[in-house]
Copies of this chain bind each other. A is one copy, B any other.
Amino acid sequence: MERSPSERGGKRASGSRKGRVRADRSQASGQPVAARVFSFEEGMADGHAGLRDLLGGKGANLAEMCRLGLPVPPGFTVSTEVCTWFFEHDRKLPEDLEREVNSALARVERKVGRRFADPRDPLLVSVRSGARVSMPGMMDTVLNLGLNAETVEGLARQSGDERFAWDAYRRFVQMYADVVLGVHAESDTDPDPFHAKFESLKRKRGLERDCDVSAQDLRRLVADYKAIVQKRTGRAFPDDPKAQLWGAIHAVFASWMTERAVAYRGMNEIPSTWGTAVSVVAMVFGNLGDDSGTGVAFTRDPSSGEKRFFGEVLMNAQGEDVVAGIRTPEAIETLAKHSPAAWRELLRIQGVLERHYRDMQDIEFTVERGKLYILQCRSGKRTGFAAVRIAVDLVSEGVIDKREALRRVPADALNQLLQPVFESVQLESARSAGRRFARGLPAGPGAASGRLMFTAAAAEAAAVRGETVILARVETSPEDIKGMQAAVGILTARGGMTSHAALIGRQMGKVCVVGAGTVEIDSRRGVLSVGALKLRQGDWISLDGTTGEVLEGRIATQPSAIMAVLMGDKGAKRRGGKSWRAYEQLMSWADDVRRLRVRANADQPDQCRVALALGAEGIGLCRTEHMFFGEKKIDLVRAMILADTTEDREAALAKLLPLQRTDFEGILEEMAGFPVTIRTLDPPLHEFLPHTEDEQRGLAKQLRISPAKVRARVASLAEQNPMLGHRGCRLGISYPGITAMQARAIFEAALAVRARTGRTPKIEVMIPLVGTLREFELQAEIVRRCAAEVFREQRAKIPYQIGTMIELPRAALMAGEIARGAEFFSFGTNDLTQTTLGISRDDAGFIPLYLEQEIWARDPFQSIDVAGVGRLMHLAANEGRGTRSDLKLGICGEHGGDPRSIQFCEKLNLNYVSCSPLRIPIARLAAAQAAL
């Protein structure tokens, strides 16, 4: 993570060539672009790392590495401002760009000593896109550009390897046709036409490996490929290298506006005006023999974060061969054997780069006949474990300070550290038995095994039967939602990190692997196949949502090492010691820095224990309805609901009282010393009644009333829109006895816990769904009266507070008035989002469409809609505190565990956030980041 251009761009800009660089100048539309083409070569560059906005991440780092004197092939970068100009001028390029590109190209020619399009010894180039941030959906790379029928002969002569030259040409035609001309498989199920041609040739010749295909055959393939292009596009494949170059530049810019890129930007709040840069770099070849090769390396282990140089190399290959997965790369250390000088150089350079960028780097390199070239470097992607470990280690090493370390770890990444993992022995045995059959994108962390189901309906039905289900779909759609909900894990064959399955799966907290492209799913016949392997409905399958692995069979899960330690497993502390210590260190720094308190949403003693272990400083939302679902309790609740008279109702409530008191005792004892916010009953009563006829008959029998009466009561309580129905304080106002019972249970429990433990529980009673002060007061009066009664009976007192949730727009609008009564507010942002946006979360199958259409930057149920819901929160916080300056403010919606929302809570100066126990570490870190 480099510093931003405004931090250092200014200083260096003045030193750059011809003073053309003004990194922070905003381009006036229609004006000619001043700074457009930035050259670089070993030892010097127009650009530098600070010009990321202008050169993209790739171009800026290429320039920076040149300035560091590292062996980078020469090249130039066309700036992002040209991209902006391009879209502002109907997809045309500025007139004099050609002159500038030619001049930069000439520099490259001079440096390399070859000329572009020279039939005797041609310069070939790669063309790559690069925006400020890496972005899926954009054109990536064209290699070997500059080849045609003449230059290929020159390349063959110069390299002394005709096969190499024609293979390069074949690769180029295929790549260019694909990414620039758009010739590729016409649907996801069609084969790629070039690949098909190549495979058919190999079959005809009886060859296994690509590299065994002869130069003669490759020559024929190039002709065939070109014929495919002619047929598909109606135009000949361009032979003029300059035309190829401009075609590629055009294509890179155009790819900025593809649907997928636009959707990605929408989701990630990346302005369209940023644009992408294009880097054109002299080709170097890793496939010129056994002293050539190509590879990717990380300056530290991106999985564990361990400080060791880590990577893979494939000798006599171009980069794409690694990706294709046909040949297996070797560990990076083997380079020492193949090319000792290049290895030594690489070791030195990786050190230089990590020190320079002060972060773990991901390095792409090529060795051409023993000479090392660095093609790219960037901050390396890493797992959550690695992110924590590296950040903490870098502080120990004196490279960064604690505050920087806190900034370095994306708070959400901590999620991984706490999710269950596969039991390691079983996992290893599954892997070594070859049961890992596919890999996809790790869209929802955690590990899960379940029975394979191919339709939402089958998944639902199996879940109802009590089975653990993995839902596998080609891709998911809103109609699959109920099936996704029923599954523990979701696997898709298609789609990326922004697909429906990924978005909704993550939101649901499911283990999720998407885009496992080698997997074929036939949901009609109920078969999943990869090559010869066939799995059928009901077969066991295992998904690792952190690594993207897909395995056959069932594998047990266990708590992650950190979770195990947190929950008191000493053995785990020994095994996962380093991760654990890094985690603890980072968390303690976070706790030093943050201002926001972090509480948990929990309503069972065991949840409280987890929450405390993860660092909770109280309960921000203790729902009382979950307590009502125990066997004995639900019967009493139902008797209470079905009571005809107030007396019968009071009798049922009297029986519930001791049970509810026991519930509260468990929680208050666990949390003694920390505040506990207990919400009075919230859901509509029909949620407690049985809905099938059988259950209704059973209940009728048990209560000795007629089934017709049960049915009638269920029918009369049914609601069109339960979300907006008879719930929250509306219940307590209709049935004051419920509130009274709960209040009495709370205070009796609190006194009992104090008597037993000597510690005084900190009680906060929270009235839900309030919209007017009077609703609050009617309920608060009951609570105060019951407290006074209990205190009088027991000749003892404890302090307590009564507050309310702000979860309706009207509550926010009336906050100034409601604060006359309420001693605290807790923003119930789930319901506040539902009502403010008028969207039922249960029915929001259109969320992915809304993200795709850029209607929302992100899912408002994951991250607070700052402009809408946030405005109401701001107003409520201000006006509430206007009335009562010491009003305590918190949030207990699911946004309380979302880093971006926590940032907003910090801005509002809330007192605390409350989230589900597993998100507490995320909230602690996010709160620290917000404070920084």
Contact = CB atoms under 8 A, between A and B. Distances in A.
Interface of A: 457, 478-479, 712, 716, 719-726, 730, 733-734, 769, 771-772, 774-775, 778, 807-810, 813-814, 831, 834-840, 842-843, 845-846, 849-850, 853-856, 865, 867-869, 871-872
14 contacts: A719-B842, A720-B842, A721-B722, A721-B843, A725-B839, A725-B843, A733-B850, A771-B868, A778-B853, A809-B809, A810-B837, A810-B838, A813-B836, A835-B836
B778 A722 contact: no
Contact of A726 (B725, B836, B845): B845
Given A774-B855, A855-B774, A724 B726 contact: no
Give chain A's interface secondary structure class: helix
Contact of A840 (B720, B831, B850): B720
Given A814-B868, A836-B810, A868-B810, A722 B720 contact: yes
Contact of A771 (B813, B837, B846, B853): B837
Contact of A724 (B809, B840, B872): B840
Contacts of A808: 836-838
A722 to B, nearest CB: 7
Contacts of A479: 716
Contacts of A836: 808-810, 813, 835
Given A716-B479, A810-B837, A846 B724 contact: no
Contacts of A842: 719-721
Contacts of A853: 733, 774, 778
A702 B835 CA distance: 39
A813 B814 CA distance: 15
Given A726-B846, A814-B867, 11 more contacts: A723-B724, A725-B839, A733-B849, A771-B838, A807-B838, A808-B838, A810-B836, A810-B838, A810-B865, A813-B872, A831-B838
A765 B719 CA distance: 33
A725 B774 CA distance: 30
A360 to B, nearest CB: 38
A733 B848 CA distance: 12
A752 to B, nearest CB: 33
Contacts of A868: 771, 809-810, 813-814
A724 B835 CA distance: 8
Q: Most chain-B CB neighbours within 10 Å: which of A719, A726, A775, A809?
A: A809
A295 to B, nearest CB: 44
A869 B812 CA distance: 11
B871 A839 contact: no
A109 to B, nearest CB: 48
A769 to B, nearest CB: 6
Given A808-B838, A810-B836, A810-B838, A772 B855 contact: yes
B778 A843 contact: no
B837 A730 contact: no
A834 to B, nearest CB: 6
Contact of A843 (B478, B722, B810, B872): B722
Contacts of A834: 724
Contacts of A840: 719-721, 723-725
B813 A734 contact: no
A772 B856 contact: yes
Instruction: State the 8 A-B residue pairs at the shortest beta-carbon distance, nearest first.
Output: A724-B840, A721-B840, A810-B868, A725-B843, A720-B842, A809-B809, A808-B838, A719-B843
Contacts of A726: 843, 845-846
Q: Most chain-B CB neighbours within 10 Å: which of A721, A808, A842, A853?
A: A721
